[in-house]
Amino acid sequence: MADGGRQDPTTRPPVLPTLETLAAGRLAPEDIRISGATLRGQAERAARVGYRPFASNLIRAAELVDVPDDEVLAIYEALRPHRSTATELEGAAHRLEALGATACAALVREAAEAYAARGMLRQIDAPSGRD
């Protein structure tokens, strides 16, 4: 709905959401999506006033802006306890890296290490997931 005739978000300049642009049918869902640059700007401000972990989170968020919803939810699912083998988590980290999400990839690798140490990985022959 409300997105008829829209162009590729990477080439189409963003349109400011106003009553005029709404009435003219010019708005698309990507026009109300936050940008990576905005998130990085917020991260810089936060880091300047001592909110370092909060800033790191915004950096990870900036990386995820262009990662599709389904992929985001799939990686969240993979990070739940006993869901993934070490190899599967490494695969997720790799996919994130390929999308430019290096901080997110590092978080996933760190999880893999912690899960291995605490027995939170899925055993290779166990069924995956609880669904």
Partner 1 sequence: MTASNAQTERPPRWRRLDLLDERPGALDGQLPEAPEDGLVAFPTALDRRPSLVVQSGVVVEMDGRAAADFDLLDRFVVAHGLDLDVANEAMALPSTEAARRLVDISVPRAAIQRLAAGWTPAKLAEIVALLDAAELVIATRKMRIRRTPSSQAHVTNRLDDPALLAADAATAVAFGFREIETTVPVAEHAPANALAILIGSQVGVPGAITQCAIEEAAELDLGMRGLTSYAETISLYGTEQAFVDGDDTPWSKAFLTSAYASRGLKMRVTSGAGAEVLMGAAESSSMASLESRCVALAWAMGAQGVQNGGIDGASVAGSVPDGFRELLAENLMVMVRGLESCTGNDTLVSESDLRRMARTMPTLLAGSDFLFSGFGSILRHDNMFGPSNMNGDDLDDFLTIQRDWGFDGVLRWPGEERIEAVRERAARAVAAVWHRLGLGLITPGRVADAVAAASSRDLRPDEPHAVSDAAAAIVDGRIGLLDVARALLDAGFEPESEALLALARIRLTGELLAPAAILDESMRVLSAFTDPNDYAGPGTGHRVSAARRREIAATRRVLDPRALAAEQAAASGSVGLTPTGPAVRGTDPREVVVGLSPAFGVDLHRALSGLTVGAVLGAVLEGIRDGGGIARVVRVPSSVDVGVIGLTASRLAGSGIGIGLQAKGTAILHRADLRPLGNLELYSVAPVLDRAAYLQLGRNAAAHALGERPVPVQNPYTDEAITARYHARVVTMMRIERACARADEPPVELAVDLDG
Q: Could you give the C-alpha distances from 27 to 4, 31, 119, in angstroms and in order? A: 9, 6, 48
**Contact call for residue 121 and partner 1 (CB under 8 A):** no
Q: How far is the CB of 53 from partner 1 (least distance, A)?
A: 4
53 is an interface residue for partner 1 by CB under 8 A: yes
The angle formed by the CA atoms of residues 22, 41 and 105, to the nearest 5 degrees, is 100
Tokens representing residue 94 in the block: 């790799």
Burial (Cβ within 10 Å: 0-12, 13-18, ≥19) of residue 66? middle
Nearer to partner 1, 2 or 126 (CB): 2
44 lies in the site for partner 1, by CB under 8 A: no
| Smallest separation (angstroms) from partner 1 to the CB of 5 | 14
- Helix segments in 12-100, DSSP class H: 19-23, 36-48, 52-64, 69-79, 86-98
Residue 38 near partner 1 by CB under 8 A: yes
Where along the sequence are the contacts to partner 1 (CB under 8 A)? Answer: 1-3, 16-19, 22-23, 27-29, 31-35, 38-39, 41-42, 45-46, 49-58, 60-65, 67, 69, 72-73, 75-77, 79-81, 104, 107-108, 110-111, 114-115, 117-118, 120, 130
